[in-house]
Amino acid sequence: MKTIDTTTVFVCRCHSEENQGASIPPGGVLTEWNLALQLDLAINACMWTHHDTEAQLLEDTLPERINQINEYTRKPKLAIEVHFNAGYSPAQSGFHVEAYQGSRDSLALAGYVLAEMARAYRGTGIPNNGVNRVNRDYRWIGTEKSYRANRQGFVMGTSCPAILVEAGFLTNPRDAAYLEDRSHRSDIGWQIGNGIIRYLREFKK
Ligand SMILES: [Zn+2]
């Protein structure tokens, strides 16, 4: 019997129960941590529909998530974490993907995921803000205290390709109204999954 070489995709749930991130409305119960779960589960489901991929949902603190990814024995693998943004102004809007500029694989993954997830926003007017390249000035200090440290730690701290998705601004009325709908979050997650599959098939083959 031929053994299938399975690719494991790590889907990290953003933030934690203690520190749930941004919310709709500010201080409300629809937090990043809550909103991301359903989206993450849709990414997982998409992975499991392909015979040679599997997904693992990781929770816990950022340093623990990174340790679990880096200590995993099988390869190849990649990691993704989905967040929702909060702006200084309610006018700030849109989705983007962050990747470490020193990782060719991560930048490629970001491109594939952004192209597919954009389908879920068609006709909404929510802008595609592109790929944001994270550099070394943005250093991981190993705690979740700093917002900047958190995002940089994820895209630079993992030993595998990793991207951080910002799925929209919870502080923007149009973005928030779209993201509050469960079916929209599932759709975004499923399209992100399609982008991951395209990266694995077309770029990593
Ligand atoms: Zn966040």
Confidence of residue 63 (pLDDT cuts 50, 70, 90): confident
Average pLDDT, the chain: 89
Whole-number Å distance, alpha carbon 2 to ligand 1 midpoint, is 42
Residue 41 CA from chain centroid, whole number: 12
Q: What is the DSSP letter of 159?
A: S
Residue 143 maps to a domain: yes
State pLDDT tens for residues 95-133: 999 999 999 999 999 999 999 999 999 999 999 999 998
Residue 134 maps to a domain: yes
Residue 87 maps to a domain: yes
Whole-number Å distance, alpha carbon 123 to ligand 1 midpoint, is 25
All residues with CB under 5 Å from ion ligand 1 = 14, 21, 32, 83
| End-to-end Cα separation, the chain, in angstroms | 22
Its pTM stands at 0.91
State how far the alpha carbon of 82 is from the alpha carbons of 14, 58, 162, 205, in Å: 6, 12, 11, 25
Residue 123 maps to a domain: yes
Q: In this structure, are residues 11 and 56 in contact, taking their beta carbons and an 8 Å threshold?
A: yes
Question: How many domains does the chain divide into?
Answer: 1
Confidence of residue 18 (pLDDT cuts 50, 70, 90): confident
Residue 14 maps to a domain: yes
Whole-number Å distance, alpha carbon 51 to ligand 1 midpoint, is 31
Paired residues of 142 in beta bridges: none
What stretch of H or E contains 96? strand 95-100
Residue 2 maps to a domain: no
Residue 130 maps to a domain: yes
Three-state DSSP class for 167? strand
Whole-number Å distance, alpha carbon 85 to ligand 1 midpoint, is 6
Whole-number Å distance, alpha carbon 5 to ligand 1 midpoint, is 33
Residue 74 maps to a domain: yes
Task: Tell me the mean pLDDT in the region 161-173.
Answer: 96
Whole-number Å distance, alpha carbon 20 to ligand 1 midpoint, is 8
CATH code at 150? 3.40.630.40
Q: In this structure, are residues 167 and 80 in contact, taking their beta carbons and an 8 Å threshold?
A: no
Per the structure, the complete domain to which residue 78 belongs is given by 7-203
Whole-number Å distance, alpha carbon 14 to ligand 1 midpoint, is 6
